[in-house]
Amino acid sequence: MTDHYGTLGITPEATPQEIEAAYRRIALQRGWEDGFWRELRDAYDVLSNPQERARYDSERDGAAELIKKRKSRNPVDRLFPNLPHGWRVALDWIVTIVGAVAIVLAIKTWVVNPYRIPSSSMEPTLHCAHPDLGCEASISDRVLACRICYTLHSPHRGDIAVFRTPPLAKTKCGAGGTFVKRIIGLPGETVQDKPGGWIYINGRKLNEPYIRPDRRMEDSNFGTWTVPKGQYFMMGDNRGSSCDSRVWGAVPRKNMIGEVFATYWPPSRISFH
């Protein structure tokens, strides 16, 4: 629809006198331009006639409202087009907050979830806080675990993983629930912990650059274990202070929650694993 008010350079509230004055002024300024004279004359003929102007304003307002509705992508506007502005703003905030909470919960449930390191079993790879025995830091590390990763691929040896402990862990370690340790043995393998703290997998020494020599020498829980099919043998990097699969057995695949891929707190400890 042609904007007659724009052609004359006036507002929709202009009086008949203002319409007349605008027409004469613009006719003197731009009447000589090719094609503009007809546009100017059409605008004047419509707006100077009260009946024509009323009909034009009605059509113009209807078109503007239609354009507004078409441009709106807000679901609240689409569902409640006649809702008062105040209610619409309140409902929009409610929808936004509920949506944000739902997204956060979905991410925590299926994608990424944070965890705090409560004990020294993974020192010095992951720190726990003083005054707990064996902890090296004043603030416990906070880590992020990829919950979706183990639905996309099988756990790998060397992964730092979050998992639900078998029932025996609570009896043997005095604590159960969710642990963070490293995957050492895969399903069907034979794991040996020999004097000196060296780990052997199916008779071959495992290269473990993440174990500090002094921590390795503290290891005294020697033995040989066969990992059942569909289960994983978990051990802490702080071998002498880790209550792990050597004590309470292997972890079923269904108990594996996710792979730890980053430390995000404290800032000085930010890193990827």
Query: Helix H segments across 145-198?
Result: 149-152, 168-173
Query: Which one from 121, 140, 241, 242 is the annotated catalytic residue?
Result: 121
Tell me, yes or no, if 229 is annotated catalytic: no
Query: Which one from 119, 140, 181, 242 is the annotated catalytic residue?
Result: 181
- CA 229 to CA 241: how far, in whole Å? 27
The amino acid present at 195, given as its one-letter code, is: P
Taking the CA atoms of 158, 163, 167 and 171 in sequence, report the sign of the dihedral they define. Answer: positive
Q: How far is CA 38 from CA 4, 33, 46, 166, in A?
A: 12, 10, 12, 87
For β-strands 231-235 and 251-252, DSSP reports them as antiparallel
Contact 256, 230 (CB under 8 A): no
Tell me, yes or no, if 181 is annotated catalytic: yes
Taking the CA atoms of 167, 154, 244 and 130 in sequence, report the sign of the dihedral they define. Answer: negative
Residues marked as catalytic: 121, 181
